Amino acid sequence: MKRTPIFEAARLVFQRDLTLAWRRWDEVTQPLIFYVVVTTMFPLATTPDLAQLRVISGGVVWVAALLSSLLALEALFRSDVEDGTTEQWVLSGQPLGWLLLSKVAAHWMLTGLPLVVMSPIVGTALGLPFNAWGTLVISLLLGTGTLSILGGIGAALTVGVRRGSVLLSLLVLPLAMPLLIFGARSVGMVMDGESPAGPLQLLAAIFFMALSLGPLAMSAAIRISVEN
Amino acid sequence: MAFDGALFEARAINAWRGDRHILRDVSFTVRSGEFLKITGPNGVGKTTLLRVICGLLPAETGAMQWRGQPIRGAVDEFHTDLAYLGHLNSLKSDLTARENLKFLSGLRQSLTTEDIDSALDRVGILSRGDLPARSLSAGQKRRLALARLVLADAALWILDEPVTNLDTAGIALVEELIHEHVSGGGLAIAAAHQRLLDDAAILRRLELEP
């Protein structure tokens, strides 16, 4: 028998998580439902006047996306650590950070990507102009991606802690503030007729930093949790 | 055989859990063709020792060598030579028996459907292959975890209470698997309370004392 190449290993982890999600689809759809419900509440609670809603639309969509992504994060590694799967990953001879990154990618595809896809519709309901769609989608793509990795680090650190969800929010939310500021600002700038390139480039920079350093942090945190 | 000449050596291992000094100067060697059985009362540190060997737990002091090389610094190579069966079966209850093997053993070796079927057949649960793991009995789950050893193609087996939940036939199966592996030049280290290959010539014992 021959050793599994690392891309094949990543594909197996990815495919495994999609298979598991397909059998537990209710857990996966929860963030999306939360996202849609929260954003539709704003016109009810404030004003149905689109001209006024338009001012806050970018910010509302961004805050809702941020909180929805956090919802699903807490359980990210829990079941794998509890049933001993991560132990076997550590011993598989494959780079652990790579396997964990692949798991986070599957998680993003199941929870982050649907939010991004829904965002133009949700934004339009809040009066977001058509010309801001592109910026909203790009900023959310980068933002939810970064958040999945940051959340992955947080989830890996708190997986051994009972009732770790509060701790996870405290850890991840401060780190997510730059994303919120640059993301919401990029949408705002487009609506003001300016170029959103600056904040988008900053978002991209943060994303690639998280992508390169995140796996190291996640694997170190998981190794600690496996020790217990 | 591929595993010939393999040697695992541990010298003066000390490990603490919290402020309890659990492993005190544990030293042993296991050679190709040997089965080391670790015995001792509950809580004496058998699982801790096995996890230290695997590298899942750090040892505060001590040195371990594999094939004459220090393990520290060549961890990935050591792990590809090692198959670990822990307390936990490492199964996903929502996946079928086949999928469990495909997604976990597949990380080590590229597996074909025939590989998986023959491993399931070897541990006697081929007919349960397409059932979700949650609907298997405790003993069948343990057998499914044993199938990973069959697929691992690893020289060193580390087994933590391998016969938990198994019936008489299952215990015989574990003895057979270990015997086959070790006679083929492999090494096995197991922690066990029950009789396990107690009369076999390949057996060596390590008694941990509190």
Residue A19: both structure tokens together: 């298979």
What confidence category does residue B124 fall into, taking pLDDT thresholds of 50, 70 and 90?
Answer: very high
> Measured between alpha carbons, how far is A204 from A198 in angstroms, rounded to an integer?
10
> Measured between alpha carbons, how far is A30 from A10 in angstroms, rounded to an integer?
26
Prediction pTM value? 0.93
Residue B1 predicted with pLDDT over 90: no
What average pLDDT is seen over chain A?
A: 92
Minimum distance, in Å, between the CA of residue B13 and any CA atom of chain A:
17
**pLDDT at residue A71, as a whole number:** 84
Is A137 inside any structural domain?
yes
The answer to whether B82 contacts chain A (CB < 8 Å) is yes
B169-B170-B172 Cα angle (round to 5): 65
Q: Do A1 and B88 touch (CB under 8 A)?
A: no
Tokens 């001209």 sit at which residue? A51
Task: State the first-to-last Cα distance of chain B, in angstroms, to the nearest integer.
Answer: 38
* Closest residue in B to A25 (Cα–Cα): B94
HSE, side-chain direction, 13 A CA sphere, residue B161: 17
Q: What is the pLDDT of residues B18-38, one digit of tens each?
A: 888 889 899 999 999 999 999
Residue A68 predicted with pLDDT over 50: yes
Q: Can you give the length of chain B in residues?
A: 210
Residue B182, amino acid: V
Q: What is the pLDDT of residues A19-62, one digit of tens each?
A: 999 998 887 888 999 999 999 998 999 888 988 999 899 999 99
> Measured between alpha carbons, how far is A184 from A136 in angstroms, rounded to an integer?
8
Q: Do B107 and A9 touch (CB under 8 A)?
A: yes
* Closest residue in B to A21 (Cα–Cα): B94
B203-207 and B61-66: which strand pairing?
unpaired
Average pLDDT of the residues in B163-167: 91
Average pLDDT of the residues in B34-53: 92
The dihedral formed by the CA atoms of B56, B59, B64 and B70, expressed in degrees to the nearest 10: 80
Domain count, chain A: 1
Residue A122: both structure tokens together: 């949700």
Residue B15 phi, psi dihedral angles, 5° rounding = -140, 140
**pLDDT at residue B156, as a whole number:** 94
HSE, side-chain direction, 13 A CA sphere, residue A53: 21
Position with higher pLDDT, B5 vs B202: B202
Minimum distance, in Å, between the CA of residue B199 and any CA atom of chain A:
31
Residue A192: both structure tokens together: 């003001």
Is A112 inside any structural domain?
yes
Q: Would you give the DSSP letter of residue B200?
A: -
By three-state DSSP, how is residue B182 classified?
helix
Burial (0-12, 13-18, 19+ Cβ within 10 Å), B66: buried
Task: With beta carbons under 8 A apart, name residues in chain B contacting A83.
Answer: 88-93
Minimum distance, in Å, between the CA of residue A16 and any CA atom of chain B:
6
B43-B49-B52 Cα angle (round to 5): 135
B69-70 and B61-66: which strand pairing?
antiparallel
Average pLDDT of the residues in A184-195: 93
Minimum distance, in Å, between the CA of residue B160 and any CA atom of chain A:
13
Q: What is the pLDDT of residues B71-93, one digit of tens each?
A: 988 898 899 999 999 999 999 99
Residue A162: both structure tokens together: 């009972």
Q: What is the pLDDT of residues B130-143, one digit of tens each?
A: 999 999 999 999 99
Residue B158: both structure tokens together: 């580390």
Nearest to A2 among B54, B102, B109 (CB): B109
Between A67-71, A81-85, A207-211, the lowest mean confidence (pLDDT) is in A67-71
What average pLDDT is seen over chain B?
A: 91
The answer to whether B207 contacts chain A (CB < 8 Å) is no
The ipTM estimated for the assembled molecules is 0.93
Q: How many CB atoms lie within 10 A of CB B206?
A: 18
- Bridge partner residues of B190 (DSSP): B37, B159
What confidence category does residue A174 fall into, taking pLDDT thresholds of 50, 70 and 90?
Answer: very high
The answer to whether B95 contacts chain A (CB < 8 Å) is yes
> Measured between alpha carbons, how far is B149 from B145 in angstroms, rounded to an integer?
7
Residue A10 predicted with pLDDT over 50: yes
Is A1 inside any structural domain?
no
Task: With beta carbons under 8 A apart, name residues in chain B contacting A79.
Answer: 92
Chain A residues contacting B via beta carbons under 8 Å: 1-4, 8-9, 12-13, 15-16, 19-20, 23-24, 79, 83-85, 87-94, 99, 226-227
Residue B127, amino acid: S
> Measured between alpha carbons, how far is A66 from B192 in angstroms, rounded to an integer?
49
Average pLDDT of the residues in B38-62: 91
Average pLDDT of the residues in A146-163: 91
Task: With beta carbons under 8 A apart, name residues in chain B contacting A15.
Answer: 103
What confidence category does residue B2 fall into, taking pLDDT thresholds of 50, 70 and 90?
Answer: low
Q: Which candidate in A25, A91, A103, A227 is best for mutational testing of the B interface (most B CBs within 10 A)?
A: A91
HSE, side-chain direction, 13 A CA sphere, residue B41: 3
Nearest to A83 among B90, B103, B153 (CB): B90
Which range marks the domain in which residue A43 is found? Answer: 6-226
Percentage of chain B exceeding pLDDT 70: 99
**pLDDT at residue A1, as a whole number:** 66
Residue A9 predicted with pLDDT over 90: yes
Tokens 């809603």 sit at which residue? A53
Is A215 inside any structural domain?
yes
Residue B158 predicted with pLDDT over 60: yes
* Closest residue in B to A84 (Cα–Cα): B90
Residue A138: both structure tokens together: 């790009």
